[in-house]
Amino acid sequence: MAYVPDAGHARLIELFHADASVTTNVLTTEEEGIAIAAGAWLGGQRSVLLMQSSGVGNCINTLSLATVGRFPLLMLVTMRGEWAEFNPWQVPMGAGTAAALAAVGVRTMRAEAADDIAQIVASAAALAYEADQQVAVLIAQRLVGAKKW
């Protein structure tokens, strides 16, 4: 599991850290996670990359490694720039995340309701790891709550 620290993923990050069978990698920038996913797959392991929608913009060029190399990639992306966003800098990438991912060949699934998220992530993981696809689950900002500063 690779991640850039994010309050929206905080509980999931804690759970991964608590599981001794999981190797966790804190990243300095999101695109490092694409390389870690490639290395994990080449080494016979599965991985997941956690990031905010703003980090998708950092990964656009590096995502070509996954799409051209046709290795599985699963990303869980907490959205910003949507529900009660306070930071205007988050809005443009939040609005363009799905289109940017689609433009480089990454399939997206969107989780809007808490009751659906487990099923959506399971479906995305199956698509990624059974069909060698690149998939991002976009987790609506409303699900993780508005940040307050």
Sequence spans of domains, the chain? 2-144
Band of pLDDT at residue 149, cut at 50, 70 and 90: low
Class of domain 2-144: alpha beta
Cα–Cα dist 31/133, whole Å: 18
pLDDT of residue 125: 98
pLDDT in tens, 28-77: 999 999 999 999 999 999 999 999 999 999 999 999 999 999 999 999 99
pLDDT in tens, 86-108: 889 999 999 999 999 999 999 99
DSSP-derived pairing of the beta strands 2-3 and 49-52? parallel
* Torsion (CA) 40, 118, 116, 114 in degrees, nearest 10: -100
Residue 144 has pLDDT above 90, yes or no: no
Band of pLDDT at residue 83, cut at 50, 70 and 90: confident
SS3 helix, strand, coil % of the chain, rounded to 5? 50, 15, 30
CA 31 from centroid of its chain's CA atoms: 11
